[in-house]
Amino acid sequence: MADAKTVPSAVPNLNVAIIGHVAAGKSTLAGQLILRFGGVDSGTLDEYRAEAERHGKGSDALAWILNNLRVERETGRTQENSLFGLNLDENSLRSAGADRKGAPAVDAIRRFTFIDSPGECGHAKQIHNALSQADAALLVISAVPGEFENALSQFQQHTTTAIMTGVKSYVVAVNKMDHPTVAYSASRFDEIRSYLKSYFEKRLRASSAISYIPISASKPSNLLSSPRRTMPWYSGSTLVASLAALRIHPRRSHAQNASKSLRVAIQRVFRVHGAGTVATGRVERGTLRVGQKVVIAPRGLKATITSIEAHYVAKQAAGPGENVGFALHGVARCDVHSGDVVGDAEDNPPKEVKSFLAHMAVTNQPHSLREGATHMLDCHSAHVPVKLQKIHSRLMGKDGTSKDLKVVDVEPKVDEAHGHWVASQAYFL
């Protein structure tokens, strides 16, 4: 693993949301990636293993690297999004087979921010939040007979959210190939891949990129090295090589947003001793700099950026696509909220909107949409109540879903609800 401090600032960061149904093994896979690339030392992992064994959950030790909440460890299910960063240098890519003949071309160093999200449908807010930050998605599917088939509603919710937020690049990891009921079966992998290819072909444009990788997160198999012993029938890329080959779709290009006015969608806010009010979020446009005077919309709060960090490394500036934490001088913790948007006070600062026109696809409960009704709206990192003011027209789409054109009155005001970056153009009620 390349030391985070040695990675040149010019190296682009790629945000990857980890999504998938309950018990697909998302957090175990995330823990395995952290372990393999030096994000946690063996001593710390031994402590997790010992604690997991004491609670009768020894097989969950890797997932505990990210699942820190008591309820997550007791239930074995992720409840909140977790972020972690990884840097792949040339040696890492070479060991993953990225230099093998026929493997996709990759950059010398790739910098990733992974966002591990819950699998249950009740966590739609967290899933949308993760995907609104993502340049690509790592979709984890269980190969165990019945597990994927019984979770199709979760799978469809996750993929619909990903498609609606504009995600164009996917790596599909068919996990648990080591399970006794699967036994590294080529036919089971082909069965799942065939279903998924048919599903995505109906919903994604031809420009979208999807790769399908059979893996075992717990063993591990086909993460870093070719599975010649366990899956001799497979001749494709390893998971890490496929991740390293991901490219940002032109519509989500960070380069074209670098010269635009600053926008940072706030994810979380903390009070940190010695630093004061600290917010975390992704720089969507422009450049965030230490010493910069900023405005926080929609309340119009004014503050100064006093420090910036990315994965515990101090920075003087952060550009589009980077997930950072930054200290805000001049505002109280209680006045800044998730969903607020930060902009440069002297360069087209963000403003509030009271209403906006939206074209939305109704995928379920079409009769609940009526004028005057109040719903919760997700837009980038915002989760706010809105009132449906007027329905202008109803159309029937080719896929059979009802499509409504309407005006939404936002309560409280959502900053610049649309038209400024890809994630801000996707709404979910």
Three-state SS string over the chain comes to CCCHHHCCCCCCEEEEEEEECCCCCHHHHHHHHHHHCCCCCHHHHHHHHHHHHHCCCHHHCCHHHCCCCHHHHHHCCCCCCEEEEEEECHHHHHHCCCCCCCCCCCCCCEEEEEEECCCCHHHHHHHHHHHHCCCEEEEEEECCCCCCHHHHHHHHHHHHHHHHCCCCEEEEEEECCCCCCCCCCHHHHHHHHHHHHHHHHCCCCCCCEEEEEECECCCCECCCCCCCCCCCCCCCCCHHHHHHCCCCCHHHCCHHHCCCCCEEEEEEEEEECCCEEEEEEEEEECCEECCCEEEEECCCEEEEEEEEEECCEEECEECCCCEEEEEEECCCHHHCCCCCEEEECCCCCCCEEEEEEEEEEECCCHHHCCCCCEEEEEECCEEEEEEEEEEEEEEECCCCCEEEEEEEEEEEEEECCCCCCHHHHCCEC
- In sequence order, the β-bridge partners of residue 415 are 352
Residue 167 contacts residue 218 (beta carbons within 8 Å): no
Band the pLDDT of 94: cuts 50, 70, 90.
low
d(CA 165, CA 385): 20
Write out pLDDT tens, residues 161-198. Answer: 888 888 889 999 999 999 999 999 999 999 999 999 99
pLDDT at 378 over 80: no
- Average pLDDT of span 85-111: 61
- Average pLDDT of span 230-250: 87
Task: Give the length of the chain.
Answer: 429
Residue 334 contacts residue 298 (beta carbons within 8 Å): no
pLDDT at 307 over 90: yes
Look up residue 93 and give its amino acid.
L
Cβ atoms within 10 A of the Cβ of 190, count? 14
Q: What pLDDT is recorded for position 164?
A: 80
Residues 237 and 310 in one domain: no
Residues 117 and 183 in one domain: yes
Q: What CATH number did the domain enclosing 61 receive?
A: 3.40.50.300
Residues 223 and 328 in one domain: no
Q: What pLDDT is recorded for position 385?
A: 72
- Average pLDDT of span 281-292: 91
Residue in this structure with the two tokens 């007979």, named with its chain if needed: 145
Phi then psi dihedrals of residue 188, to 5 deg:
-70, -40
Domain edge (last residue) among 201, 222, 252: 252
Q: What pLDDT is recorded for position 320?
A: 86
Residues 246 and 272 in one domain: no
d(CA 337, CA 393): 34
Residue with the bigger pLDDT between 254 and 159: it is 159
Write out pLDDT tens, residues 387-413. Answer: 777 777 665 554 444 444 444 444 444
Band the pLDDT of 97: cuts 50, 70, 90.
low
Look up residue 30 and give its amino acid.
A
Band the pLDDT of 355: cuts 50, 70, 90.
confident
* Residue of 254, 249, 250, 244 whose CA lies nearest to 106: 244
Q: By residue range, what is the domain housing residue 407?
A: 352-425
**Counted domains in the chain:** 3
Residue with the bigger pLDDT between 186 and 283: it is 186
Residues 245 and 260 in one domain: no
Residues 103 and 227 in one domain: yes
Residues 262 and 337 in one domain: yes
Residues 263 and 247 in one domain: no
Residues 262 and 394 in one domain: no
Residue with the bigger pLDDT between 267 and 221: it is 221
Domain edge (last residue) among 221, 252, 283: 252
Q: What pLDDT is recorded for position 78?
A: 55
- In sequence order, the β-bridge partners of residue 341 are 265, 297
d(CA 125, CA 80): 10
Q: What pLDDT is recorded for position 58?
A: 53
Residues 187 and 314 in one domain: no
Residues 187 and 292 in one domain: no
Q: What pLDDT is recorded for position 231?
A: 97
Cβ atoms within 10 A of the Cβ of 411, count? 13
Residues 276 and 136 in one domain: no
Domain edge (last residue) among 344, 360, 388: 344
Distances in Å between the Cα of 296 and the Cα atoms of 182, 245, 318, 343 are 52, 36, 17, 7
Q: What CATH number did the domain enclosing 325 receive?
A: 2.40.30.10
Highest-pLDDT range among 64-68, 196-200, 202-206, 417-421: 196-200
